[in-house]
Amino acid sequence: MFDYIILIPLFSLIGFLLNGFLGKRLGKSFVSWVGPGSVGLSFTLALKLFLDLLALPADQRVIESITFPWIISGDLQVNIAFLLDPLSAVMMLIVCGVGFLIHVYSIGYMHDDPGYARYFSYLNLFEFSMLVLVLANNFLLMFLGWEGVGLCSYLLIGFWFEKKSAADAGKKAFIVNRIGDFGFLLGMILIFITFGSLNYLEVFETAPVLLDVGSGLAVAITLLLFTGAVGKSAQIPLYVWLPDAMEGPTPVSALIHAATMVTAGVYMVARCHVLYLLAPFSLSVVAVIGAITAFYSASIGLVQNDIKRVLAYSTISQLGYMFLACGVGAFAAGIFHLMTHAFFKALLFLGAGAVIHALAGEQDLRKMGGLKNHLPVTFVTFLIATLAISGVPLFSGFFSKDEILWKSFSQGNPFLWLIGIITAGLTAFYMFRLFFLTFYGQPRFDSHRTHPHEAPKSMTIPLIILALLSALGGYIGLPESLAGKNVFEKFLAPVFEAGTHLESAVHTYSHSTEYSLMLMSIAVAFIGIITAFRFYLKNPVAAEKIKTKFATTYRLLLNKYYMDELYDRIFVKPFLNLALYFWQFIDVQIVDGLANGSADFVAWCSKVFRKVQTGYIRNYALSLALGVVIILTYILTR
Amino acid sequence: MIPLSYYLILSGVLFSIGVVGVLISRNAIVIFMAIEVMLNAVSLTLVAFSQQTGSPAGQVFVFLVMTIAAAEAAVGLAIIIVIFRSKESVNVDEVNLMKW
C-alpha cells in the first residue's frame, strides 16, 4: 500500500523532463500546467500517504519501500529505497505543499520572462531532488538529493546569468556548499567504515551498541555531518552564500533559500539524532553555532536596506534557532519551527516578490513606503507573516519559537536562552522596520513613473493560503502548558524516542517557570515592535540620530561585519594567487616545460644527426664497408 | 690439386679490389664494374667450396647469381643512362640531391 512512494519524486522528475525538453516548443500554457501540475500531483499523493500513515498505530509508522538495488559493490549495498516515517512525512508535506504554492505563484511572477520553460524545469528538478533528499532511506540516496538541490540552487541563483552579480552569486553558493558537502561525504564514508551499511535503520540500530557515548568516533562522524549541514543551512562560518543567493528570482528565494533547501541541514541533524545523542560534544557545538548564528545574522539584518537581504539574514537567523533546538536535544521543536518557518518565510518572500513586482523590480527599502493602499492583499498577508516571525502570541511563530526558547532553557543552558531571547527581540525589530518602511509612511518611489498595482490572482491566492497556514499552523504544536496537546510533538515522538532520555536527565521545571519565560518572550517581541514603530513610523529623525551617534557600529553592521571582505582576504585571494602560481609557474613552466623540453631535445638531436645523410653515395658505401670490417673484426677476434 | 686456400685468398683479393673500386671512384660506370668484380669474387668462393665438398649446389647457385647479375646490370645501366641524360655526367658526387 506504500509501494508507490517513489511516484512522489517521480512526478516532479517527469515534469522536469517534459518542461526541459519540450517546454520551449509547446509554449507557456503547457509549461504552466506541467510545472505546478506535477508538484500538485505529488502533493495529492503525499497527502494520501500521510493519511494512510496516520491510520497506522503510532509504533508501526516506519515504512521502508525498496524499489530496486542501485549500487552493489562488495560490502556496499545501496538501494533506491524510501523511508516514510513521521519525520519524513512532515518534510514531504512541507516540500510538496509549499513547493506547489510557490510553483503557482511563479506562473504570475515569471510570466514575462523569456526563460519561462527553463525556470519551471529547474524548479521541478529541485522539487524532485528535495523529495529524494527527505524520503531517502540511506545516506547515499540522501546525498544524491543533497547534491541535486545544490545544483538546482546554483542554476536558479544564476538564472539571470547574463547579469554578472547573479552568475557570481551562483558560483559562490556552489563553492561554499562544496566545502560543507566535502565534510558530509567524509562523514558518510566514516559511517560506512564503522557500520558497514548506509541504511538509516541499520545504522541507527547498531549505533548505540557499536559506539560509546562521547567516543571520538561518534564525535567525528557527527561533526563531519554537521559540516555538511552548516554549508547547506548557511550557518557560521559558511553562511556567506545565502545573502548573495538573493540574486535569483524571488519565488526561488522563497522556495529554495527560505522554506525548503536550507532546512535540509536541520532535517539531516534531526534524522541522525541517534548519532548526535551519542556525541554530547557535537550537540553542544550544534547548539552554540546555532545560537551564535541566530544572533549574529539578526544583528546584520537590523540595518540592511535591500528587502530581500533583510529576509535572507532573517532566514539564517531562524535556521540558527532550529539548530539551537536540535543542539539541546529538542529535535521535535526544531522540526516544528522548520515547518512554521517554511510557512511564514515563504509568505514573506512571496510578499516581498509582490512588492518588487508592483514597483517594477525595485528592492531598496529606502525607495518604497506607503504601499498599504496600493497592495491590500499583500499588505494583510505580509502583516500576518511579520507577526508570526516576530513571535506575537496566537500566531504560529510564537509557539514554535517559544518551544525552542523553553527547551533551550530547560534542557540546555540559560545563556543559550538569553541569546535566543535577545535575538527574538532583534527579529521583531527588524521585521517591523521592514514592514513599516515598505507599507507605511510617504511613498519614496517616483510616483509619476511607477504605478504600484496588486499582483494577479495566481500570486495572491498562494499568499492567502500561506497566510492562513502562518496564522494557524502553530496550533498543531500547542504546548501542554497552554492547555494544548502538542499533537505535533506526539506525532514525531516515535522517531525521536531515543532523545527522550535526555529530557529526563535534566531536572524538570514547573509550569510557572514556563509561563514567566513565555511572558518575557512576549514582552521582548513587543519591545522590538514598539521600538521599530517609534523609529521608523512616528519619529524617523530618531533613527537618523541613532545612525550618526553609533556611526561605527552602524557601518560595521551595514557592511556585514566586513565578513565577505575578510573571507576574500583570507581565503579567496590566497587561493586565487595559489591557483595563479600553479597555472603560470607549475603548469606553464614545469609541466608544459617538460613536454616542450623533451620535444625540443628530440628536435635538436635530429638536427645534429641528420648531417649524416650527406647525399654522397660513396660516403654511405664507406660507412657500410667500415661497419662490415668492424663487425667481422669483432667476430673473428673474439 | 690446388688447395682451397688459394681460391679463397684470390677471391678475397678480388673482393677487396672491388670494394676499394666502389669507394674511390667517382664514375658511376667504374663503380658498377667494381660491384661486378665483388660479385664474381663471391661466385668464385661458391665454386671453390662446391668443388671441395663435391656438392653441385654451389655451382647451381653461381648460375643463379650470374642470371641475377645480368638483370641487375640491365637495370643499373638504365639508371645510369637516365642520370646521364639529365646531368650530362656520370659523376656520382653530383648526384647528391637526396639529403637533409
Residue A595 has pLDDT above 50, yes or no: yes
CA A316 to each of CA A102, A115, A296, A494, B84: distance values in angstroms, whole numbers, following the listed order: 20, 29, 9, 29, 96
What mean pLDDT, rounded, does chain A reach? 89
Q: Mean per-residue pLDDT for A469-497? A: 81
Q: Closest to A618 (Cβ–Cβ): which among B23, B99, B100?
A: B23
Cβ–Cβ below 8 Å for B23 and A622: yes
Q: Mean per-residue pLDDT for A117-141? A: 94
Q: What is the pLDDT of residues A436-459, one digit of tens each?
A: 999 988 888 877 777 788 888 888
Q: Closest to A625 (Cβ–Cβ): which among B19, B95, B100?
A: B19
Nearest CA in chain A to B27: A618
Give the separation between CA A621 and CA B93, rounded to whole angstroms. 13
Rounded to 5 degrees, what are φ and ψ at A77?
-130, 115
Nearest CA in chain B to A617: B92
Cβ–Cβ below 8 Å for A618 and B92: yes
Q: Which of A600, A416, A414, A596 has its CA nearest to residue A509?
A: A414
DSSP A271: H
Q: Closest to B100 (Cβ–Cβ): which among A611, A621, A625?
A: A611
Q: How far is B29 from chain A (nearest CA, A)?
A: 14
Q: Closest to B23 (Cβ–Cβ): which among A611, A615, A625?
A: A625
Coil, strand or helix: which one is A199? strand
Asked whether the ipTM of the predicted complex exceeds the cut of 0.85, the reply is: no
Q: What is the pLDDT of residues A351-393, one digit of tens each?
A: 999 999 888 888 888 888 888 888 899 999 999 999 999 988 8
Mutate to test the interface with B, among A617, A620, A628 (most CBs of B within 10 A): A617
Give the separation between CA A525 and CA A427, rounded to whole angstroms. 8
Rounded to 5 degrees, what are φ and ψ at A198?
-115, 0
Residue A546 has pLDDT above 90, yes or no: no
Mutate to test the interface with A, among B16, B17, B19 (most CBs of A within 10 A): B19
Give the separation between CA A431 and CA A298, rounded to whole angstroms. 10
Please name the amino acid found at residue A160: W
B79 touches chain A (CB under 8 A): no
B19 touches chain A (CB under 8 A): yes
Angle between helices A457-472 and A331-358 (to 10 degrees): 150
Please name the amino acid found at residue A491: F
Cβ–Cβ below 8 Å for B96 and A613: no
Strand partners, A64: A83
Q: How far is B99 from chain A (nearest CA, A)?
A: 5
Residue A35 has pLDDT above 80, yes or no: yes
Coil, strand or helix: which one is B96? coil
Per-position b or e across A352-366, b if 16+ CB within 10 A of its CB: bbbbbbbbeebbebe
User: Residue A505: what pLDDT?
Assistant: 47
Cβ–Cβ below 8 Å for A617 and B95: yes
Give the pTM: 0.81
Reduced 3-state DSSP string for A330-381: CHHHHHHHHHHHHHHHHHHHHHHHHHHHHCCCCCEHHHCCCCCCCCHHHHHH
Grid coordinates given for A115? 526563460
Q: What is the pLDDT of residues A289-300, one digit of tens each?
A: 999 999 999 999
Cβ–Cβ below 8 Å for A615 and B96: yes
Q: Mean per-residue pLDDT for A455-465? A: 90
Beta carbons of A395 and A387 less than 8 angstroms apart = yes
Q: What is the pLDDT of residues A207-216, one digit of tens each?
A: 888 888 888 8
Q: Mean per-residue pLDDT for A12-16? A: 93
Asked, as a colleague might, if the bond just before A114 is cis with ω within 30 of 0, I would say no
Confidence of residue A498 (pLDDT cuts 50, 70, 90): low
DSSP A240: T
User: Residue A515: what pLDDT?
Assistant: 86
Q: What is the pLDDT of residues A391-415, one digit of tens each?
A: 888 889 898 998 899 888 888 788 9
Mutate to test the interface with B, among A616, A620, A636 (most CBs of B within 10 A): A616
DSSP A74: T
Residue A94 has pLDDT above 90, yes or no: yes
A609 contacts on B by Cβ (under 8 Å): none
Cβ–Cβ below 8 Å for A618 and B95: no
User: Residue A507: what pLDDT?
Assistant: 55
Give the separation between CA A89 and CA A94, rounded to whole angstroms. 9
B30 touches chain A (CB under 8 A): no
Beta carbons of A270 and A335 less than 8 angstroms apart = yes
User: Residue A393: what pLDDT?
Assistant: 87
Residue A503 has pLDDT above 60, yes or no: no
Beta carbons of A503 and A391 less than 8 angstroms apart = no
Within B54-99, where are the H helices? 57-87
B17 touches chain A (CB under 8 A): no
Grid coordinates given for A286? 550544534
A618 contacts on B by Cβ (under 8 Å): 22-24, 26, 92-93
pLDDT in tens, chain B (100 residues): 788 999 999 999 999 999 999 999 989 999 999 999 999 999 999 999 999 898 999 999 999 999 999 999 999 999 999 999 988 888 888 888 877 6
Confidence of residue A504 (pLDDT cuts 50, 70, 90): very low
Q: If residue A329 lies in a helix (H) or strand (E), which one and from where to where?
A: none
Grid coordinates given for A227? 559540516
Q: Closest to B96 (Cβ–Cβ): which among A616, A621, A625?
A: A616
Cβ–Cβ below 8 Å for A610 and B96: no
Residue A481 has pLDDT above 80, yes or no: no
Q: How far is B100 from chain A (nearest CA, A)?
A: 6
Q: How far is A636 from chain B (nearest CA, A)?
A: 16
Strand partners, A73: A76
A209 touches chain B (CB under 8 A): no
Q: Mean per-residue pLDDT for A123-145? A: 94
Please name the amino acid found at residue A130: M
What domains appear along chain B, each with residue ranges and CATH number? 27-91 (1.10.287.3510)
A614 contacts on B by Cβ (under 8 Å): 96, 99
Confidence of residue A1 (pLDDT cuts 50, 70, 90): low
Higher pLDDT, A489 or A155: A155
User: Residue A477: what pLDDT?
Assistant: 81
Residue A501 has pLDDT above 80, yes or no: no
Mutate to test the interface with B, among A618, A619, A632 (most CBs of B within 10 A): A618
A615 touches chain B (CB under 8 A): yes
Reduced 3-state DSSP string for A576-625: HHHHHHHHHHHHHHHHHHHHHHHHHHHHHHHHHHHHHCCCCHHHHHHHHH
User: Residue A91: what pLDDT?
Assistant: 93
Cβ–Cβ below 8 Å for A618 and B26: yes
Strand partners, A416: none
Q: What is the pLDDT of residues A295-321, one digit of tens each?
A: 999 999 998 999 999 999 999 999 999
A617 touches chain B (CB under 8 A): yes
Q: Which of A229, A313, A321 has its CA nearest to residue A268?
A: A229
Q: How far is B31 from chain A (nearest CA, A)?
A: 10
Higher pLDDT, A545 or A424: A424
Cβ–Cβ below 8 Å for B96 and A611: no
Grid coordinates given for B10? 684470390
